Structure 1
Amino acid sequence: MNRVRLYWILQILGWGSFAFVNIFFASLSRGISAVQLWAFVVLAAFYLLSTHSLRHVVKSYGWFRLGIFRLLIQTILALLALAVANVLAQILINLAFGTLKPEEDFRSLVITVNLFVSFLYYAFWFLLYFLFHFLDNYNSSLRYEAKINEIRLNHLKSQLNPHFIFNALNSVRALVDEDPDKAKSAITRISNMLRFSLMMDKKQVIDFADELATVKDYLELESIRFEERLEVVYQIEEESFSYKIPPMMLQTIVENAIKHGISNLVKGGLIEIKCREGLENELYIQVKNSGFLNPNASKSKREEGGHGLENTRQRLRLLYGDQASFRIFNSGSQFVITEIKIPKQRVTLEYQTQ
């Protein structure tokens, strides 16, 4: 079920039950009029809106990224503020529905009890919200670990693919006598790529600069194989280097562009990598390659033997939720563009709030 829909269902059921219980016991003890009934409904609606406002604050300011002491202090202050607002709302609701009893409702003991009860309701709501957040992130972490292990194995298989190694070593062998310095450089690049794959560990995100360095090593190797058939263009804005991205994500896209684009063209073609910062602190990564994406081909056929575009989509979904986007499309009849948007804030897998 959609997370937002689940949230609203739980909110409505929870505070709806609160109103029902209050109405039920009020009718048992002293009877209840239609006016009093609506007063309870409006109070429940206030609880719903005020807790939703608290959720908005928690999400907007990343409370679950705070240390435990600061989180505790901010939570207590917020719950106290909501409790005070709730007591004032009760007075206004009673006044609006004509059920206000000044001689009782304004007594210090009654106000104190209402304040304490309201604080307890809000604290209970926040505790449930925090537990749901914790359990949901735990499940997301398990899904992420399973997916990242699958991606790591698939990528290592791709990097160590005999065909890839055969082409790379053949290119180096041809350079040993012709250009020994260039051959040494090519061997170093192969070593760097393999080391990067093996040392990726279980990091969810890495510096953009590290990912770009590996991509450049890969394209330098492919340039040896394709020679003048491969043209590489980089358009990287300086702001891009302040971002972190999922490891091997850009590498996966570039490999896909080489295998399904450039390799199928007799005259070769262009690989153009653009990275820029958007207006709302997001990183836009665009890989443009010569070729054509057949929209009539089945999804499985388009990705057959590829480098995991679907895995890339799933990783983005697990890490960033709806804040990231992925799309691949034709640009005219000669180029294919793969475009990714990544938010700058920390990944929601670790701190994914509802």
Structure 2
Amino acid sequence: MKIISRISTYWKIQFIGWITTSLYWGVSAFFGGTFIWEIGIADLILDVTIGITLTHIYRNFALTNGWNKLNLKMLVPRIAISVLVLSLLYTFLIVGKLYLVRLVVLKSNPVSFMAFLKSTQLQVFITGTRLMSIWLLAYHLYHYSRLEIETVKENARLTIIMKEAQLNSLSAQLNPHFFFNSLNNIKFLILENPDSARRAIDLLSELLRNSLNNNVVRLIPLNDEINLVKDYLELEKIRFEDRLQTKIETSIDLSQHLILPLSIQSLVENAIKHGIEKRKSGGFITVKVEIENGFLKISVQNSGKISKEIKDSGIGLKNLKERLLLQYNGNASFEIKEINDETILTTIIFPTK
């Protein structure tokens, strides 16, 4: 059993295939009434030897010349010529085998080799053509399918690598943008309210720590993102004071879901920049997290109007859209719309698995 397990699949198929073929001929001769055991055993051994030898020589020739890597257009003519050559060699060897075996076993042969060749060559050639065609087609179809599978795997691997590079690039791009805006906020607070500025610096430090930790992985727990948003909104509320009202509504277990880092934060930052900041009276921001039709739905409502600047959104939302597309292969959706004259609704829908 150990010896059999060490034999490669190629050799197992070779032996099984040629032995089965030779046994079929032997059984046909046995029931045909012309069977002689000595001839049958010799035919079995020599048929298997000739078949394996010819096909194995072809296999080595094909591998040496790289035929297994050719496309079908280049391979088909080579297979056709090879079938013809192998069939001729098979015919000569089999006819010679038939003649010699019968000469040795029967001790005499009433006809010459050339006469025997003429009488049997067509039938043997047709048989050889059929066998060699089947063998070569099976052999190359196997390798062609393996090549196609390897090509698909390689393309998939390259696609994953490309997506990872794009996601890493986008994440690296997002953090500087986010912290630049936060530092700008603190700059104004230092002049207007030093005590609030100190609290803002503490919040920014916490935001920086959380953001750097989150940036190591592609997806983070939803509750980590919500905590980041809470800190960011507190930082902004120091600057806007009573001009900003915030609310975060959740009805699910936040720790059970994973989302893109800085995804909700990008929506909130956009709401501040293009909504609250543009209004003298300020406004509100409401973040809502829920499950809807089996999907994770995150919506951000804020005071404001959709302007051309929002439609042609800058780095934050463009970055988010690209990351959603790359991470979820089109299974996540993003929408921003004006639900009345004074409110903007931005929604992201994530797959839950």
Q: TM-score range by the shorter chain?
A: 0.5 to 0.7
Give the % identical residues: 29
The correspondence for 1:286, drawn from 299, 309, 317, is: 299
| Counterpart residue number, 1:211 | 225
Worse-matched range after superposition: 204-213 or 239-248 = 239-248
| Counterpart residue number, 1:165 | 186
| Counterpart residue number, 1:192 | 206
- 2:135 aligned with 1:135: no
CA distance in 1, matches of 2:201, 2:74: 73
2:301 and 2:344 in contact (8 A); partners too: yes
- 2:332 aligned with 1:324: yes
2:182 and 2:204 in contact (8 A); partners too: no
CA distance in 2, matches of 1:254, 1:137: 30
Q: Which has the higher contact order (CA 8 A, sep 6+)?
A: 1
CA distance in 2, matches of 1:23, 1:239: 64
CA distance in 1, matches of 2:196, 2:144: 74
The alpha-carbon deviation at position 315 of structure 1 amounts to 1.8
| Aligned CA distance change for structure 1 residues 192 and 225 (closer, same or farther; 3 Å) | same
Gaps of 5+ in 2: 1-70, 85-126
1:237 aligned partner, one-letter code: S
CA distance in 2, matches of 1:114, 1:26: 10
SS at match of 1:238: coil
| Aligned CA distance change for structure 1 residues 275 and 168 (closer, same or farther; 3 Å) | farther
2:79 and 2:136 in contact (8 A); partners too: no
| Aligned CA distance change for structure 1 residues 123 and 21 (closer, same or farther; 3 Å) | closer
1:209 aligned partner, one-letter code: N
CA deviations on 1:231-288 (whole Å, 9 max, x unpaired) are 22222231443222221121121011012111222332221111222434x3221111
2:240 aligned partner, one-letter code: F
CA distance in 1, matches of 2:158, 2:276: 45
1:120 aligned partner, one-letter code: H
The alpha-carbon deviation at position 210 of structure 1 amounts to 0.7
| Aligned CA distance change for structure 1 residues 151 and 191 (closer, same or farther; 3 Å) | closer
Query: Where do residues 8-23 of structure 1 align in structure 2 (5 Å cutoff)?
Result: 18=72, 22=76
| Counterpart residue number, 1:226 | 240
SS at match of 2:266: helix
The alpha-carbon deviation at position 341 of structure 1 amounts to 2.0
Give the TM-score taking structure 2 as reference length.
0.57
CA distance in 1, matches of 2:186, 2:324: 29
SS at match of 2:293: coil
CA distance in 1, matches of 2:190, 2:208: 14
Give the TM-score taking structure 1 as reference length.
0.56
Gaps of 5+ in 1: 1-16, 31-103, 177-182, 346-354
The alpha-carbon deviation at position 193 of structure 1 amounts to 1.6
| Counterpart residue number, 2:12 | none
* Number of corresponding residues: 241
The correspondence for 1:245, drawn from 247, 259, 267, is: 259
1:240 and 1:283 in contact (8 A); partners too: no
2:242 aligned partner, one-letter code: E
CA deviations on 1:114-153 (whole Å, 9 max, x unpaired) are 7665543332221111111112222233333332222222
2:251 and 2:289 in contact (8 A); partners too: yes
Query: Where do residues 1-354 of structure 1 align in structure 2 (5 Å cutoff)?
Result: 18=72, 22=76, 118-161=141-184, 164-168=185-189, 173=194, 188-280=202-294, 282-295=295-308, 299-300=311-312, 303=314, 308-345=316-353
CA distance in 2, matches of 1:28, 1:195: 68
CA distance in 2, matches of 1:316, 1:208: 15
1:283 and 1:343 in contact (8 A); partners too: yes
CA deviations on 1:326-345 (whole Å, 9 max, x unpaired) are 22111111111111122234
Flag the structure with larger Rg: 2
